[in-house]
């Protein structure tokens, strides 16, 4: 469930569907072309995603928000096609798009750091008097943070939010290393306009970046 950092994040002013809403209802041709672009999984596909992706510098403290993506309905078709390359047809891509509907998908990649690692130091200190040992950070740690998008001082209400823990399997990074968080919005509630993405992690640390949806297909 979406949890806001401040009352503003509770979306006091919801964006109603209007003439400025993001373009919806992809044509069959657009979905088909997006499907084949995803199936290529090559440099052309990677170039396509450049405007939809922001890579951010490491945080000085707390977890790092290393990557933020804002995916339009078309970009989502490309992404899903690139992830399911075996036994996935253009017809299936069209059906999946129809079932999903027109949405804007915010994707946030969180990475654990030296100051916010697998050991939950704060919780371990609180439990020290009760239980000896270290407290491992839970794989739903991403739920402690806040996520939102804003356009013209209005916060957009999300349709859903979920996350997936990320685990490392190398000698240098075993166990929990981060998480991917997915926040979905109804495209009709999002304008083709400048869009601010806000991610609030630890207190006094907020990551803000901007996308221009008018330039994204």
Q: Which two tokens stand for residue 164?
A: 């997936």
Encode pLDDT of 150-208 as tens digits.
999 899 999 999 999 999 876 566 789 999 999 999 999 999 999 999 999 999 899 99
pLDDT for position 49:
97
Residue 15 lies in a domain: no
3-state secondary structure of 133: coil
What is the band of 135 on the pLDDT scale with cuts at 50, 70, 90?
Answer: confident
pLDDT for position 172:
64
Q: Are strands 154-155 and 53-55 parallel, antiparallel or unpaired?
A: unpaired
- In this structure, what are the phi and psi dihedrals at residue 47, rounded to the nearest 5 degrees? -65, -35
Residue 120 lies in a domain: yes
Residue 76 lies in a domain: yes
pLDDT for position 121:
59
pLDDT for position 20:
55
Q: Among 197, 215, 217, which residue's Cα sits nearest to residue 207?
A: 197
Q: What is the mean pLDDT of the segment spanning 71-94?
A: 95
Residue 61 lies in a domain: yes
R_g of the chain computed on alpha carbons: 19
CB contact at 8 A, 78 and 93: no
Q: What is the mean pLDDT of the segment spanning 136-146?
A: 94
Encode 50-82: b = buried (16+ Cβ within 10 Å), e = exposed: eebbbeeeebeebbbbbebbbbbbbbbbbbbbb
Dist. CA 95–CA 99, nearest whole Å: 6
Residue in this structure with the two tokens 């009760």, named with its chain if needed: 130
Encode pLDDT of 32-54 as tens digits.
999 999 999 999 999 999 999 99
Residue in this structure with the two tokens 């495209």, named with its chain if needed: 187
Residue 45 lies in a domain: yes
Residue 11 lies in a domain: no
pLDDT for position 132:
55
Q: What is the mean pLDDT of the segment spanning 119-125?
A: 61
Residue 10 lies in a domain: no
Helix ranges (DSSP H) in 23-89: 28-40, 43-49, 73-83
Q: Which two tokens stand for residue 13?
A: 């002013």
Which range marks the domain in which residue 131 is found? Answer: 25-215
* Total domains, the chain: 1
Q: Please state the pTM of the whole predicted model.
A: 0.84
pLDDT for position 169:
78
Q: What is the mean pLDDT of the segment spanning 120-130?
A: 53
Residue 170 lies in a domain: yes
Kindly state the DSSP code that residue 127 receives in the 8-state scheme.
Answer: H
Encode pLDDT of 59-71 as tens digits.
989 999 999 999 9
Instruction: Give the CA distances from residue 138 to residues 23, 72, 108, 120, 163, in Å, rounded to whole numbers and listed in that order.
Output: 39, 31, 18, 8, 13
Q: Which two tokens stand for residue 212?
A: 């221009």
Across all residues in the chain, what is the average pLDDT?
86
């Amino acid at each position: 469930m979406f949890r806001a950092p401040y009352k503003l994040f509770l979306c006091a002013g919801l964006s109603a569907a209007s003439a400025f809403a993001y373009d919806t209802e992809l044509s069959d041709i657009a979905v088909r072309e997006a499907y084949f672009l995803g199936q290529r999984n090559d440099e052309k596909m990677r170039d396509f995603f450049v405007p939809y992706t922001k890579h951010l510098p490491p945080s000085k403290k707390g977890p790092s928000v290393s990557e933020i993506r804002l995916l339009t309905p078309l970009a989502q078709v490309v992404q899903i096609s690139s992830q399911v390359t075996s036994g996935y047809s253009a017809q299936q891509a069209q059906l999946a798009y129809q079932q999903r509907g027109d949405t804007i998908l915010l994707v946030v990649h969180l990475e654990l750091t030296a100051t916010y690692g697998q050991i939950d130091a704060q919780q371990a200190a609180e439990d020290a008097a009760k239980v000896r040992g270290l407290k491992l950070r839970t794989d739903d740690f991403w739920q402690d943070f806040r996520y939102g998008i804003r356009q013209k001082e209005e916060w957009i209400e999300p349709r859903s939010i979920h996350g997936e823990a990320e685990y490392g399997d190398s000698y240098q990074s075993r166990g929990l290393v981060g998480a991917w968080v997915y926040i979905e919005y109804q495209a009709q509630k999002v304008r083709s306009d400048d869009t601010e993405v806000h991610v609030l992690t630890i207190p006094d640390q907020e990551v803000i970046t901007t996308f221009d949806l008018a330039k994204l297909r």
